[in-house]
Amino acid sequence: MTSQKLRMLVLNHLACEPNSGYGLIKSIKEATGWKPSYGSTYPLLKQLMKEGLVTQKTKGRKKIYTLTKEGGAEAKNDRDDKVALIKKLKETTSVMSHLLGMGKEESEGMMASFLEAVMTDDKTFKGLMEPSNKMKLEFFRIYKEGKLKKNKNEITKIFNEATEKLRKLK
């Protein structure tokens, strides 16, 4: 995960409640399934304090981090950006689903899976999107070159075979 994503996760978690560095690591792990390292989290907290986005108070042996007004504003901007991105993604998915002949339930399931993969930064999903996109680009190339009608039966056979092979995976 990039340092920018960790930054946003930390700011968003602190927007919910003040927390210790260890508490942030634990809550991020619970929310995303990914555990940020101590070596990334604590230097980031120092940097956020330098930027005036976070303050620190000692409570017993713990250092508790709290967002400043500026930190809260940055966290809110990030959430607003995500809401706008998700809205745009849903609109795009809706159009693509319609073009692909998907029903509402299939479309919503695809959208939920895609968002989960993006939000958790799923490397396997990202890696498999590349060959999937290559196949789609080849399909559109064939269409653009006017070869779709001539190759319809062969293309249908390829898609059906690939779909059946995917369906059989355990």
* Tens digits of pLDDT across the chain (170 residues): 567 888 888 998 999 999 999 999 999 888 877 889 999 999 999 999 999 999 999 999 999 999 999 998 988 888 887 777 777 877 777 777 777 788 888 887 877 787 777 767 778 887 888 888 898 889 989 999 999 999 999 999 999 999 999 999 98
Residue 91: inside a domain: no
Residue 60: inside a domain: yes
The domain that holds 45 is classified in CATH as 1.10.10.10
Residue 96: inside a domain: no
How many structural domains are present in the chain?
A: 2
Tokens of 88: 């745009």
- Give the separation between CA 118 and CA 51, rounded to whole angstroms: 28
Domain region containing 146: 123-170
Residue 133: inside a domain: yes
Residue 79: inside a domain: no
- Give the separation between CA 153 and CA 148, rounded to whole angstroms: 9
Residue 167: inside a domain: yes
Point out the domain boundary residue: 72, 92, 113.
72
Residue 114: inside a domain: no
Sheet holding 54-59, edge to edge: 19-20, 62-67, 54-59
